[in-house]
Structure 1
Amino acid sequence: MRITAVLCLLCAVACSSPAPREPSARPSPAPSARPSPPPAVQAEAARLVAAGSSGAVVHVRKGDRTWQAAAGRADAGVPMRTDHRFRIASITKTFTATLVLQQVEEGRLALTDRVDQVLPGVIKTKATVADLLRHTSGISDYLRDERFTKDLGGGAHLRHWPPRELLKYADKEAQGYSNTNFILLGMILEKVSRKPYRELLSERITGPQGLTATELPADDLPKDLAHGIHTDGVDNAELDSSIFWTAGGLISTAADVSSFYHWVFTQDLGRRLQAGGFGIFAQTLGCGRRVYSHSGWIFGYSGMAMSSADGETEVVVQLASGQPSDAIAAAERLMCTA
């Protein structure tokens, strides 16, 4: 079974950077959903399937209104629904960055802390926590290491991979975007909070905000997870999430991701994410609109989450067996017309 490119994954949107705010005590009120999506949303979902995705979900939020549409299938003989879940890949990084900034605000961590001092003996580096968050650490990406893709053969993609084992494939210097940065941030979160990442996520984000469809899956995969088939025929719904962990292991719905982005960018924490370029990217669209976003890609799954700076408009596109460029282009079109 070939898994190679499965893991040259988790694309970031190439743009500039963004700034943080503080978690609100209460979850944002749920927006009212219109009974039927406007033509633009339904048309985008259909367009994405026509372009080659086996299934697509498109979600648009503007103020207190939402529109969403689904097209294609989630599995053989199963029509795609708007509440189907996807592997959201690198969109996970915005969740992880948010958890890190919460620890910073509460004094358990500083952006200037050296990684090798917070995690002694784990990795040789002079990078700081801020370097990890903005991908300026110079640490190579374990997912792009040929040794890793080779070692994933023979069913190893189905077993649990401890974070320290992933780091064995990040022993080179390399500039630019690296998933290893966010694996290290996950380890730092567990060290300073003294809690597993899964518990911290539930306690700090998904629980308070009512994001019931968002989780880092443990063993049994949820039945409502859409199946994304890689070009090699590998069903990537079966991949063990520990391969991506805090860099890209979360599963969620388009609606949950939209609610999370709305929550983040309507508080001070979101402005700090924007200012630092932490787990988010800044972009000015062709229509002149300034947005903050993150894309995600694991072969078999693609997605794009995008928010206006004030958090009042969100667009989320999730695809099964689709291309990240299609998800990104659809999100940009929708954001420009929302």
Structure 2
Amino acid sequence: MSIRDRSTRMPARRFGLALVAGALVLSCIPSAAAARHAPNRTAAELQRDVNALLATGATGVLAEVSAGSHRVAARAGVADPAGRNPVAWDAKHRIESTTKPFVATVVLRLTAEGKLGLDDPVDRWLPGLVGTEVTVRQLLGHTSGLPDYADDVPLAQATTAEQFDRERFRTYSPGQLVAMAMRHPPEFAPGQGWSYSNTNYVLAGMIIEKATGAPWQQAVHERIIEPLGLTGTVIPGTSAYLPSPRLAAYQRLRPGDRPVDVSTRASGHADASIISTPRDVNRFFEALLGGSLLPPAQLKEMQTTVRAEPFEAVWDEPGYGLGLMRRRLPCGGWVWFHGGGWWNAITDNAVTPDGRRAVTVAIASSLDPGQDPTAQAKASAALIDHALCADAAGTPYPRSGNPAMTAS
């Protein structure tokens, strides 16, 4: 569904799992796998959920649950439909809009350092781009009313393999993307509503560069990736290639056409360009909610949410803060998360409020164009619910005290 469909107020398709539009095709190729150690109940449960997720229309799935040093992982399907190799345990995947909490964390770190303010007008940092009323806070929380550029990019409009091949290596400056968005009228006056817009985070990246005098990628690397030792995380800049080992996503752009490897495409902006692994994403969210990336005041700002009504089809009581979402678990309590997805590369995740337990799922989706992704989103949410609700039932998942259960 296009973001231009104002009757439904759906978020742009780049957000990901709950409402991914333009989902893609290939027959499922099941390939069960288990953790390194002999299967036990927790590993079997995760494998069951991964298999169920694969069956909703995916070519490959990789999930990892972590609780401190204790981990359990499961995979199903293939790394690349062009071959028969199983998904690698350290497969790299485009996490798309899960980039946003990384970027929001950097902005909040800069506010803690006194380098910028959440209530600074964007015009102070980027004069003349979006008017004088929009603030930094509104960018991070999607309350700016700024239109989304995502469906205006020629790559998003590709309907044939030839068009995709022509556009996949084309790059745009942040200013060009903002200009695409600003051709459209605002969704609402700044601060008077909520509407997901990737334009907000393109602007946030530009503000980071103004405040630090360095590329936003460098700020994320220095403040998050390097200190946390996220060795599987890459910010590719204008490179179109997904590093190996990779979890490749394919799409059939029209019924009957050959599937296209849509993992190879340029994506270099602060809204959705980070490449990572489930393990690294878990480490990031554990550190963020555990308090080691932000001072308490800034983390509280990040966790101040407004209702995110378009996501209620999948999640219970979803709210959006500053680059961080929350939802209620079926067993009670809340989790924090931020999914992402575009061109069938889907990431889903969640972390407990104390940062002690996290789960991330990487999905190479294979839904047909126009096919409703809700069942896939619910299957992923169920996997996460089962992993995080086990604690509430008194059976930690993975069990505390067990050896790490990662795969060879």
Residue of structure 1 in register with 2:199 after alignment: 180
CA distance in 1 between partners of 2:209 and 2:228 (Å)? 21
1:94-243, aligned counterparts within 5 Å?
A: 94-145=101-152, 149-150=156-157, 153=163, 155-171=166-182, 172-175=185-188, 176-218=195-237, 219=239, 220-232=241-253, 233-242=259-268
Decide which moves more: 197-206 or 307-316: 197-206
Larger helix fraction of residues: 1
1:74 alignment partner AA: A
1:1-338, aligned counterparts within 5 Å?
A: 8-11=13-16, 35=37, 38-75=43-80, 76-145=83-152, 149-150=156-157, 153=163, 155-171=166-182, 172-175=185-188, 176-218=195-237, 219=239, 220-232=241-253, 233-242=259-268, 245-267=269-291, 268=296, 270-275=299-304, 277-322=321-366, 323=373, 325=377, 326-337=379-390, 338=397
CA distance in 2 between partners of 1:34 and 1:77 (Å)? 20
CA distance in 2 between partners of 1:222 and 1:146 (Å)? 24
Q: Is the 8 A contact 1:198 1:215 kept in 2?
A: no
CA distance in 1 between partners of 2:38 and 2:363 (Å)? 20
CA distance in 2 between partners of 1:328 and 1:43 (Å)? 14
Q: CA deviation at 1:298?
A: 0.8
Which of structures 1 and 2 has the bigger CA Rg? 2
Decide which moves more: 163-172 or 132-141: 163-172
SS in 1 for 2:235: coil
The TM-score normalised by the length of structure 2 is: 0.71
Q: Is the 8 A contact 1:182 1:247 kept in 2?
A: yes
Aligned CA distance change for structure 1 residues 331 and 40 (closer, same or farther; 3 Å):
same
CA distance in 1 between partners of 2:303 and 2:186 (Å)? 27
Where structure 1 has 5 or more consecutive residues not aligned to the other structure, the ranges are 1-6, 15-32
CA distance in 2 between partners of 1:230 and 1:254 (Å)? 22
Aligned CA distance change for structure 1 residues 124 and 156 (closer, same or farther; 3 Å):
farther
Q: Is the 8 A contact 2:198 2:271 kept in 1?
A: yes
2:380 alignment partner AA: A
Residue of structure 1 in register with 2:369 after alignment: none
CA distance in 1 between partners of 2:250 and 2:213 (Å)? 37
CA distance in 1 between partners of 2:213 and 2:38 (Å)? 45
CA distance in 1 between partners of 2:38 and 2:178 (Å)? 47
Residue of structure 2 in register with 1:25 after alignment: none
CA distance in 2 between partners of 1:72 and 1:12 (Å)? 18
2:359 alignment partner AA: V
SS in 1 for 2:383: helix
1:327 alignment partner AA: S
CA distance in 2 between partners of 1:297 and 1:62 (Å)? 25
Q: Is the 8 A contact 2:126 2:207 kept in 1?
A: yes
Aligned CA distance change for structure 1 residues 296 and 199 (closer, same or farther; 3 Å):
same
Where structure 2 has 5 or more consecutive residues not aligned to the other structure, the ranges are 1-11, 20-34, 189-194, 254-258, 306-320, 367-372, 391-396, 398-408
Question: Percent same amino acid among aligned pairs?
Answer: 33
Q: CA deviation at 1:317?
A: 0.8
CA distance in 1 between partners of 2:109 and 2:283 (Å)? 18
Aligned CA distance change for structure 1 residues 166 and 314 (closer, same or farther; 3 Å):
same
Q: Is the 8 A contact 2:155 2:167 kept in 1?
A: no
2:352 alignment partner AA: S
1:120-147: CA deviation from partner (whole Å, max 9, x where unpaired): 1223351100001110001001013487
SS in 1 for 2:245: coil
Residue of structure 2 in register with 1:3 after alignment: none
1:162 alignment partner AA: S
The TM-score normalised by the length of structure 1 is: 0.85
Aligned CA distance change for structure 1 residues 270 and 225 (closer, same or farther; 3 Å):
farther
Q: CA deviation at 1:282?
A: 1.4
Residue of structure 2 in register with 1:22 after alignment: none
Q: CA deviation at 1:36?
A: 5.3
Q: Is the 8 A contact 2:151 2:157 kept in 1?
A: no
1:82-132: CA deviation from partner (whole Å, max 9, x where unpaired): 200110011111101001001100011100100112111223351100001
SS in 2 for 1:132: helix
Decide which moves more: 163-172 or 118-127: 118-127
2:122 alignment partner AA: V
2:339 alignment partner AA: S
